[in-house]
Structure 1
Amino acid sequence: MIWLAVATFSTGIDGYVLAGLLPAIADDLNVEPALAGQLVSVFALTSALAGPVLGTVTSRWERRGTIGSSLAVFVLGNLVVALAPNYPIAVGGRVVAALGGCLLNAAVTGYVIALTPIRHRGKALSFVLGGWMTATALGVPVGLALGQSSWRFPLILVSVVGTVALVGILLRLPHLHLPAGSLADRLRPLRQPRLLAGLLVTTGILCSSYTCFTYATIILSPAYPGGWVIIAIMFGYGVASMLGNAVTGRLVDRFSAPRVLTVVLSGLLLNALLGVFTFAVGAVAVAGLVWFFAAGIGNGGAAVPQQARLAALAPDSAAIVMALNGSAISLGLALGGGLGGVTLAAGSPSYGLLGVAAVVLAITLALHVVVQRQGAGISPGAGTGSRSERRRSP
């Protein structure tokens, strides 16, 4: 599983580092900063639209080959961006990278779910998804530091890490063939309103997170001016995310995934409400870091129970469901950044973003409770299948 974690590490760096380098990108490619920001939006939009399609088309492919192919496309796209002489080529590279990245994340998660016994699934997901969290803690600060010389260096770093992961995957990862079935059988669970509502919970979690995370520098700027201080704070946020991911990964193996997710969402909502109050009274220096790091723990901790719950809802369509979940993540990223921008443009103080996030979290928690109650009569492991039902080749 180590090489899968390295692969998600590379996608994690790519997902976070560009936003901190937009001014340098704009200067080098001779475009406005707002247009340079579309390199992030293009990636998210492509992922959201292409994820379900690619997940469906490749759902019957051998899993190791799917992971390797998607990772190779992701690496190629990042190399195109890193070497792009102009803005249009950079946009094209981001589209290519997104096509590989959205399929990669879905394929990796589906592989782990299919290969791991139910009782160890939370810990396994936590380990693999920990690559993304580690990227926030280590990869992003390193990438931003490299970006002080050239914005292209972090993308080269992503490509190098991705290539190392690709070699490891091709040499060490076992083949995995999932039961054939028909495409209609695989798509049938997607007709369930409960599953679609569960995917909207993913969107809500990411929307609330990125309403604040996208503008964290602005929110914390009254006490922390930026530069290397912000890089250090981002490192702390990443460590907090890793901690949340590790803890909930083990809790999911002991308790039901919906129960763990209820606690995480409730904690995030309480943290946002307390954050609004403390920012409003001017307690930014200490309380601001407490809010930010607590949000990191909660946001990092939400991924494992949410994915485990979605897998239990449609165990025979894991590849497709994880692709849809990737689209739900991308949609949440886009909505969060847009909602935060509209809030600030309307004249709200920066800490008002915490209030907006709290509203989104309240709606998300209510939706999560509805999804949980609809399945109250279903055992946590129902329908997940057994390892004997899967066929692997050496």
Structure 2
Amino acid sequence: MKNILFLPIAMFAFGMDAYVVAGIIPDISTSFQITEAQTAQMVTAFTLCYALSAPVLATLLAGFPTKKALMLSMLVFIFANLVTIFSTHLSMLLASRALAGIGAGIFSPLAAASAASLVPAKKKGRALGLLLGGMSAGTVIGVPAGLALATWLGWQGVFAVVVGIALIGLIGVLLGVPHICVAPPPSLKARVALLANRSVSATIAVTFLTAVASLGLYAYLAPVITGITQHTNLTPYLWVWGLGGMVGSFTIGHIIDWVKHPKAILLAVLTLMCVAIFSIPNSLSIPSSLSLTAIMAFLPFFLWGAAGWSSLAPQQHTLISLQPEHSAAVVALNSSSNYLGGAVGTLLGGLWLGHGLSVTQLVYAAAAVAAVAIVIQIGILRQSAHSVATKCPDS
């Protein structure tokens, strides 16, 4: 396991880099004299390129030494963040975010393949969980921590911290990861081919819509909170959302093993997320002077974080059961759909606010998208029950 210990550090940097903008949107908007909706497109640029870079470049990666590819992608990521720090206009800022997403998107699947090949078979799940934990921690811990650092370092200092963490990861890869060859990530063609299966495409659609609602709204957490409450202290809400994310990430696997019905679990998770998001405007209107009652203002953020981060695991279980012979490709497709949904959600949120609609309406729109995902998931459950009944007719 010691050969892969630095890989989660790099993944932490990616998770922090992808969504740290959510907490520092007002600062960046002021620096560039642009709208908050325009600033949020930094998230769109990163997540879109993250989702598409690995499958698009998979063919080019075939035969390329894995360690060199890991180091090259980290160098691209670090360089892109340096460009972000020294950007002078919006176009330069968005280009740097796109380049950072490309670097992260190439590194992540190769790191997962490397981790799986460098540990004994009985420890592969633990190794992959360590990588996913690194990236989720980067989002749920790194983002609020970055917001706190911005108070002293400014928004450029936050990205400098990301560069520092990434440098540690790069040095770890250089010194700790041996020269190995692993299969390149599944190509875009291989991933898209799986969508011909209706059950797979329906499941992927739910993943996509869940990300549109959850990750898309998260990118606008700063304008949502300040727009409804007039408060500028976002840190408590980010920490509570992150705490919920950590709880959801660490408990969902045990729940799946216990209940053994990932599709039904996902329906419950989606319902919880939809209700939590829908409750945000009302919870934010609770007077802060009522200390005991004010705790309830944070509950929707905790539940939203928990539900959002626990939604991927049931989907992975479902997809692997549907396509066991293409497990790597179908899991990669699910991951791409998740980040693509986050990118589309952020883009749509920017268009929504750009047309003068309120942040409260944006929250309700996100809840509506989650409701559509619920409807599709109910259809999936009914189809699954029908298939079981057809295979096992009453005697």
TM-score by length of 2: 0.76
Residue of structure 1 in register with 2:143 after alignment: 140
Q: Distance in 2 between matches of 1:105 and 1:62?
A: 15
Which range is displaced more, 158-167 or 131-140? 131-140
Residue 195 of structure 1 pairs with residue 216 of structure 2 = no
Q: Distance in 1 between matches of 2:344 and 2:189?
A: 31
Q: Distance in 1 between matches of 2:24 and 2:102?
A: 22
Between the two proteins, the alignment pairs up a number of residues equal to 378
Residue of structure 2 in register with 1:331 after alignment: 340
Which range is displaced more, 154-163 or 214-223? 214-223
Identity %: 28
Residue 249 of structure 1 pairs with residue 262 of structure 2 = no
Residue 8 of structure 1 pairs with residue 35 of structure 2 = no
Q: Which amino acid aligns with 2:160?
A: I
How far off is 1:136 after superposition?
3.1
CA spacing shift, 1:205–1:124, aligned 2, 3 Å: farther
Cα deviation code 1:138-174 (max 9, x no counterpart): 3223322333333221112112111212232344446
Cα deviation code 1:249-292 (max 9, x no counterpart): 33345535434433322322343455577678989944331111
Q: Map of 1:225-374 to 2, 5 A cutoff?
A: 225-227=230-232, 229-254=233-258, 255=260, 257-273=262-278, 285-314=294-323, 317=326, 320-341=329-350, 350-371=359-380
CA spacing shift, 1:152–1:278, aligned 2, 3 Å: closer
Cα deviation code 1:112-159 (max 9, x no counterpart): 677889998776554322223322343223322333333221112112
Residue of structure 1 in register with 2:212 after alignment: 207
Higher helix share: 2
Do the aligned partners of 1:223 and 1:285 also contact (CA within 8 Å) in 2?
Answer: no
Do the aligned partners of 1:110 and 1:322 also contact (CA within 8 Å) in 2?
Answer: no
Q: Distance in 1 between matches of 2:275 and 2:380?
A: 21
Q: Which amino acid aligns with 2:85?
A: A
Q: Distance in 2 between matches of 1:126 and 1:104?
A: 16
Cα deviation code 1:303-327 (max 9, x no counterpart): 3333344445445555654554444
Question: Cα RMSD (Å) of the superposition?
Answer: 4.2
Which range is displaced more, 25-34 or 198-207? 25-34
* Gaps in structure 2 of 5+ consecutive residues: 389-395
Cα deviation code 1:32-91 (max 9, x no counterpart): 655544433332333344343124543666655544433332222112222335554433
Cα deviation code 1:162-199 (max 9, x no counterpart): 12122323444464634999998787545433333322
How far off is 1:223 after superposition?
7.9
Which range is displaced more, 69-78 or 369-378? 369-378
Residue of structure 1 in register with 2:49 after alignment: 46
Residue of structure 2 in register with 1:389 after alignment: none
* Gaps in structure 1 of 5+ consecutive residues: 380-394
Q: Distance in 2 between matches of 1:183 and 1:214?
A: 26
How far off is 1:242 after superposition?
0.9
Q: Map of 1:62-141 to 2, 5 A cutoff?
A: 65-109=68-112, 125-141=128-144
Q: Which amino acid aligns with 1:195?
A: V
Residue of structure 1 in register with 2:391 after alignment: none
Q: Distance in 2 between matches of 1:322 and 1:288?
A: 35
Q: Distance in 2 between matches of 1:43 and 1:243?
A: 26
CA spacing shift, 1:218–1:187, aligned 2, 3 Å: closer
TM-score by length of 1: 0.76
Q: Distance in 2 between matches of 1:138 and 1:289?
A: 17
Q: Which amino acid aligns with 2:244?
A: A
CA spacing shift, 1:316–1:32, aligned 2, 3 Å: same
Q: Distance in 2 between matches of 1:181 and 1:141?
A: 33
